[in-house]
């Protein structure tokens, strides 16, 4: 990919900046020589993800909750680009806490959209999710072919997309929704609600049996973190005619959970059999993205396939967990 260049002294605001995707975005912005304002309430974000940036003069950390509208207005002052990653993830947890998810994921983005509009931010790029495709069984998943939503989490992401479209339509705020497909990579949390890859890796490194929900035949379009970073920056550079819309961000390849597991044990040289459990509530069975629209509008071209990303991720966990 060609180097993406922004005006000198550009200021990026990253919400959820101490989280998995947010901290990687902060790091990339600093490496490019631009300023970053990292915002997090540390409910799920971790200080260790961003500690190495504290000595960088271009890094600013603000601890706050995006449910606080007045605080959102303050943090948007002087900002050129908003990369809105702050949200509560996990489909199963959202089924248990629907009201909490609506408060955080829907009101949070509304507060940020309104604040960005007032501050005349150039671009507002936000994280959506493949969960908005719901029970639509057609593969690959294509923008405009959404089905019935299967979880409160998916509802919050669809609501976020609709609000962002309204802010473009009525107020001219350039919004770009990135529908992430199963992102994985360095700094990803391995707690009970984490994605499957960090859970598998950490358990295998400890010589423990990973748990596979269901029979392992479910499939996903696993997307390495650096592809997602590329997509965020490309959206910031996109032409305004492509604003007010949503884009699949993935690789366009499908992998079953059991084949992923087999690749991991082979790479780690482990002889550990997984345990099988009941399927998670609200999870879709298969996921595969059509990334044509993102390629055409955003010039998105994923640089890492699953195998490359998996090896880089495993190596990172080996270094940081052992």
Tell me which residues are annotated as active site.
153
Torsion angle, CA of 162/168/174/180, rounded to 10 degrees?
A: 10
Residue labelled with tokens 């994605």: 195
Q: How many helices (H) and strands (E) does the chain have?
A: 11, 13
For helices 196-205 and 306-321, the axis angle rounded to 10 degrees is 50
* 213 within 8 A of 277, measured Cβ to Cβ: yes
- Within a 10 A sphere around the Cβ of 16, how many other Cβ atoms? 27
Q: Read off the tokens for 218.
A: 């479910």
* 85 within 8 A of 50, measured Cβ to Cβ: no
Residue labelled with tokens 């923008």: 143
Among residues 90, 117, 118, the alpha carbon closest in space to that of 105 is found at 90
Q: Where are the beta strands (DSSP E) in 104-262?
A: 123-129, 175-180, 183-184, 211-213, 219-220, 223-224, 245-249, 255-256
């Amino acid at each position: 990919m060609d180097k993406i260049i922004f005006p000198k002294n550009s200021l990026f605001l990253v919400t959820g900046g101490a989280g998995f995707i947010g901290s990687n975005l902060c790091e990339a912005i600093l490496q490019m020589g631009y300023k970053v304002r990292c915002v997090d309430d540390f409910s799920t974000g971790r200080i260790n993800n961003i500690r190495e940036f504290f000595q960088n003069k271009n890094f600013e950390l603000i601890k706050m909750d995006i449910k606080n509208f007045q605080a959102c207005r303050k943090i948007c002052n002087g900002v050129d680009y908003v990369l809105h990653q702050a949200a509560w993830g996990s489909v199963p947890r959202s089924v248990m806490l629907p009201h909490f998810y609506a408060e955080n994921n829907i009101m949070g983005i509304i507060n940020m959209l309104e604040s960005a509009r007032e501050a005349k931010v150039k671009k507002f790029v936000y994280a959506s999710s493949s969960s908005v495709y719901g029970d639509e069984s057609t593969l690959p998943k294509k923008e405009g072919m959404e089905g019935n939503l299967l979880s409160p989490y998916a509802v919050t992401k669809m609501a976020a997309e609709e609000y962002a479209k309204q802010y473009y339509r009525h107020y001219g705020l350039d919004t770009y929704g990135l529908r992430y497909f199963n992102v994985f990579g360095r700094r990803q949390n391995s707690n009970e609600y984490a994605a499957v890859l960090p859970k598998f890796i950490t358990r295998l490194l400890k010589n423990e049996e990973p748990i596979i929900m269901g029979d392992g035949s479910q499939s996903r379009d696993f997307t390495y973190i650096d592809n997602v970073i590329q997509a965020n920056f490309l959206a910031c550079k996109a032409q305004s005619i492509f604003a007010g819309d949503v884009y699949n961000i993935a690789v366009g390849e499908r992998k079953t959970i059991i084949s992923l597991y087999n690749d991991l044990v082979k790479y780690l040289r482990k002889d550990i059999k997984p345990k099988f459990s009941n399927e998670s509530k609200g999870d879709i069975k298969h996921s595969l993205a059509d990334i044509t629209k993102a390629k055409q509008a955003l010039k998105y071209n994923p640089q890492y396939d699953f195998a490359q990303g998996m090896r880089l991720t495993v190596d990172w966990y080996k270094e940081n967990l052992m």
